[in-house]
Amino acid sequence: MVLVVVLVGVAALGARRDGGGAAEVPGGPDLPLALTEGQAFEVDGFDYAAGWTLGADPGTGTVQLLGLRLTNHRDGAERLAATVRLVDGNVVVASLFCKAGDGYDFVPAGVTVAVLCESSDPMPAAHDKVTIRDAY
C-alpha cells in the first residue's frame, strides 16, 4: 500500500490580507511595530487590548509578558504566531514567542483570546524599545 500525503501551503504567506505586500503592514513579518508597554495596538486585523505588562518571572528571572489579549477582526479564523522583542539601541536583548492556545489553534473571527508569550531569555537590565511582528 502506498500512502501519498499532499500538503497545501498558505498562499502568499506574509502578504497583507487586503492583497498588499507584507512590507506595508506594520507588525507584519517584514516591518516590526514599535509598542508602548501596556497600550493597545493592532496588527493587520488582530486587535490587542491595553493592560499588558512586561517583567521578570519571580522564579526564573526570564522575561514574561502578562495580560495580553487579542480580538480577531480578520476575515476568518487565523492562527497567531508572533515575536515580541525587547531592544536596547540596535541590539535585541530578549525575545518572546507569542501564540494562542497550543499554537495550532485558530482564533475565530470576532473572538477574543488570551495570548501566551514564552521566552527562555532573562529579563534584560535595560531596553529602550519593544516590537512585535507576525511570523507570517
pLDDT in tens, the chain (136 residues): 333 333 222 333 334 455 444 458 999 999 999 999 999 999 999 999 999 999 999 999 999 999 999 999 999 999 999 999 999 999 999 999 999 988 888 999 999 999 999 999 999 999 999 999 998 8
Distance, CA of 94 to CA of 40 (rounded, Å): 21
Question: Exposure pattern of 61-100 as b/e (b: 16+ CB <10 Å)?
Answer: eebbbeebbbbbebeeebbbebbbbbbeeeeebbbbebbb
pTM: 0.82
**Domain residues of the chain, as ranges?**
22-134
Number of H helices, E strands in the chain: 0, 13
- Confirm if 70 and 43 have CB atoms less than 8 A apart: no
Distance CA 65, CA 120 (A): 12
Q: Which three cell numbers stand for residue 3?
A: 500512502
